[in-house]
């Protein structure tokens, strides 16, 4: 399996997710949308698995490889949201966003090889990054909900139900971010002898984590406002984007960060 084969897996996956999204919008039953989404996920994951076997390492080293996982987990997050809360539009939004990352990967493929630096040759490498990618997908779905709420606030009839759904998704996302940070700290101790060094990536990870904690604690206030809560989520998601790939372009990260991906 090589990166040249990606398009042959990506297109069928997106088509299956599109069918699922269209069916969800037209029909009340959730079975077929769930089935088509899972089929698309199966096709997509078969490429990830093929790359894993071909590279003889988890495809998690480059930015393109993390986009691969993000494209996979977005429909997963959309499906969970759809099945749990029944919002039909979430499958369409997660499919569109996943397709954007897929197009980026097709248009700008990274250099993929088997080489892993010694620090990455750790049993913590795969679970740490995969958990982070899943949390990013969940929090990406939450961001879509926030945008939906802010643009349609005056027309919405079930605002509290949306806020409850948002709270639950944030709790899940933050829980996985926390697990990812803890695994990263243990991994750092094994690789470099310390749990935390305020590396630029670590600093922005902490800022992202605190951003979502601000949302959680603000929602606990009796005087909290829904619109302000959703705005906090958007700001926290900006921090997440800087943490994920924006930090690669910061001069301080280029000089001394051990977490930067290749941006070629």
Residue 264: the pLDDT is 37
Is the model more confident about 131 or about 119?
A: 131
DSSP code per residue over 180-223: HHHHHHHHHHHHHS-S----HHHHHHHHHHHHHHHHHHHHTSTT
Please state, in angstroms and rounded to a whole number, the distance separating the CA atoms of residues 232 and 145: 13
Q: Is the pLDDT of residue 61 over 90?
A: no
Check if the beta carbon of residue 20 is closer than 8 Å to that of residue 44.
no
C-alpha 145 chain-centroid distance:
14
Cα 59 to Cα 228: distance, rounded to the nearest angstrom: 38
pLDDT exceeds 80 at position 122: no
Q: Are 187 and 128 in contact (CB under 8 A)?
A: yes
- One-character DSSP codes across 6-33: HHHHHHHHHHHHHHHHHHHHH-S--HHH
Could you tell me if 239 and 261 are in contact, meaning their C-beta atoms sit under 8 angstroms apart? no
Instruction: Enter the pTM of the model.
Output: 0.81
Q: Which residues of 125-134 are buried (b: 16+ CB within 10 A; e: fewer)?
A: beebbbbbbb
* pLDDT score recorded for residue 29: 87
Q: pLDDT tier at 175 (50, 70, 90 boundaries)?
A: very high
Candidate from 15-19, 36-40, 146-150 with smallest mean pLDDT:
146-150
Give CA–CA dist 89/36, Å, rounded.
15
């Amino acid at each position: 399996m090589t990166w040249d084969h990606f398009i042959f897996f990506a297109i069928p996956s997106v088509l299956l997710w599109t069918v699922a999204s269209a069916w969800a919008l037209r029909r009340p039953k959730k079975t077929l949308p769930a089935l088509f989404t899972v089929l698309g996920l199966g096709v997509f994951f078969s490429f990830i698995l093929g790359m894993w076997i071909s590279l003889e390492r988890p495809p998690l080293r480059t930015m393109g490889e993390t986009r691969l996982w993000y494209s996979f987990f977005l429909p997963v997050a959309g499906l969970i949201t759809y099945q749990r809360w029944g919002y039909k539009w979430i499958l369409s939004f997660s499919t569109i966003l996943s397709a954007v990352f897929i197009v980026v990967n097709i248009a700008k493929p990274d250099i993929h090889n088997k080489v892993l630096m010694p620090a990455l040759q750790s049993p913590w490498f795969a679970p740490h990054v995969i958990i982070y990618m899943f949390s990013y997908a969940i929090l990406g779905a939450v961001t879509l909900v926030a945008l939906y709420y802010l643009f349609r606030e005056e027309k919405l009839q079930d605002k509290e139900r949306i806020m409850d759904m948002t709270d639950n998704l944030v709790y899940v996302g933050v829980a996985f971010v926390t697990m990812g940070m803890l695994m990263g700290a243990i991994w750092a101790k094994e690789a470099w002898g310390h749990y935390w060094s305020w590396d630029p990536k670590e600093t922005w990870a902490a800022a992202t984590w605190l951003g979502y904690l601000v949302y959680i604690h603000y929602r606990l206030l009796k005087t909290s406002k829904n619109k302000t809560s959703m705005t906090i989520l958007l700001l926290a998601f900006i921090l997440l984007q800087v943490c994920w790939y924006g930090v690669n372009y910061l001069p301080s990260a280029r000089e001394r960060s051990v977490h930067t991906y290749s941006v070629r």
